Structure 1
Amino acid sequence: MTAPVLAPLTAALDGATQLVAAVAPEEWGRPTPCAEWTVRQLVGHLVGGNRMTARVLRGEPLPPLDQLGRRDPADQLGDDPAGAHRGSAEELLAAFGLPGVLDRAHTVPAGTLPGPALVHLRTVETLVHGWDLARATGRRVPFPDDLVEPELAFSAGLLGRLPAGRSPFGPSQPVAGDAPAVDRLAALLGRTPG
């Protein structure tokens, strides 16, 4: 049985998995709203983040911080990008489901966080990069407002607590107040919905 706190992450991962599965062979090299990444690198980043978080949750050591991010994110995908993404999502959910994981704090590159906050971080990461992927490939974003609104509130609160110069996101961008929640989340984290 899935813990209720994992339901939003599960839904976000399902939507992202659908987006990744729909990427056509000629779309993997397309640019994304993340200026430094192609579609393949963006998906590799998601896969790498899922795998890294699962390692942390299982109590396995991470490489030294100065080693993280040195490889091309696309290296995570092998010959089956959709399978790599699906497998990393399953691995992440299994790790969050381990006994006691949600009751403990875990240290990831962003800091030491309680289990539920780490669920939020992975959910936000999946939603925003899912938005990036949908934009890059011209597909509909599969995340309903009721899934995104709590993550938008979480992200707004988190941004207010980050030390100056420590944000991994671009400056927030203007967006209409009645825009879909996922567009407002993307704008909050530096994207330009248009």
Structure 2
Amino acid sequence: MLTADQAREAVARCWGSVLEVFPDDRWERPTRCAGWSLLDLTRHAAWGTSMEADALRRSRSGEAGSGVGTEPSGGRDGVEPALRASVAALVGELDRAAELGDAVEIPFGAVPSPFALQVFTMEAGVHADDVLAAMGRDEALGADVVTATSVVLAAVLPVLAAEVPAEGTVVGLTGPTVDLRFGVVDATWQAVDAAPTVSVRGSSDTAVLRFALGRTGVDDPALDVDEGARAFKAWFPGP
């Protein structure tokens, strides 16, 4: 799990990389997020980062309620400045992470403050990757983003499961450092420490996590997907 300082560094770097590559045109270009253009993704990012900044502020100040985000309207001239402002606010709040309360409340509920920092790091890293991909760039996720994303997925994927296969099924997601295992125990998915019965193996951690997050599929040449693991996204359609 990342420390507050590590999370702040990762979030600032990832969103900074996005702000550096925005194009002058073609904001309607598609992204890996189904049905979303680059403008749509940027609008969502502005909402998400503003919500995260507000959630941290509320935790730090003791103000009740979930973080509230602001989704900008209009085209690039309104959306890009909104993202720049919300990223600055988020990084500013992360600079004060030592003042956080025990929990941070986001629209999905209250979570322990250290876990919230992992979520916000994952969001920054994954959406930065989405933007860079839309710009035709393929860059590996940072080691800090890999760590945070692995922590988050271990906790949330079982909760998001939609289908449950046979009792005793254990699916493994394995990369150079990623080692996530989810098994069916008493008819429910759980994070487990057991040998996989089916596996998704990647030549890089980035490839494994992109697959787990639905950014790529079983045909990714960087992956070796067992036949029995091809149903993974039917089992875990989110996040």
Question: 2:19 & 2:97 partners in 1: Cα distance?
Answer: 30
Q: 1:92 to 1:24 in 2, by over 3 A?
A: same
From 206, 212, 223, the equivalent of 1:182 is: 206
Structure 2 unaligned spans of 5+: 163-172, 174-198, 221-239
User: Would the alpha carbon gap of residues 127 and 34 (structure 1) be closer, same or farther in structure 2, given more than 3 Å must change?
Assistant: same
Q: How far off its partner does 1:55 sit?
A: 1.4
TM-score of the superposed pair, with normalisation by structure 2: 0.62
Higher strand share: 2
Cα 1:90/1:48, change in 2 over 3 Å:
same
Cα distance 1:84–1:163, how it changes in 2: closer, same or farther (>3 A)? closer
Listed as ranges, the matches of 1:8-157 within 5 Å are 8-59=7-58, 61=65, 73=71, 75=73, 79=77, 81-98=79-96, 101-141=99-139, 143-144=141-142, 146-157=143-154
1:90-136 CA distance string (max 9 Å, x none): 21122233365434212211221111111111111111111111111
Q: Which has the higher contact order (CA 8 A, sep 6+)?
A: 1
Supply the distance in 1 between the matched residues of 2:39 and 2:112 (Cα, whole angstroms): 31
TM normalised by structure 1 equals 0.74
Q: After superposition, what is the alpha-carbon deviation per residue over 1:36-65, rounded to whole angstroms, capped at 9, x for unaligned?
A: 21111111211111111211222265589x
* SS state at 2:48 partner: helix
Contact 2:38 2:131 in 1 (8 A): yes
Q: Choose 1 or 2 for highest CA Rg.
A: 2
| Pairing partner for 2:215 from 178, 188, 191 | 191
Name the structure with the higher helix share. Answer: 1
Q: Distance in 1 between matches of 2:72 and 2:97?
A: 32
Partner of 1:27, secondary structure, is coil
Secondary structure of 1:19's partner?
A: helix
> Taking structure 1 as reference, are residues 7 and 90 closer, same or farther at Cα in structure 2, changes over 3 Å only?
farther
C-alpha deviation, 1:143, in angstroms: 3.4
Distance in 2, Cα, partners of 1:109 & 1:85: 19
Q: Which runs of 4+ in 1 moved over 6 A?
A: none
Count how many residue pairs are aligned between Structure 1 and Structure 2: 178
Offset, 1:81:
4.2
What is the deviation of 1:189? 1.2
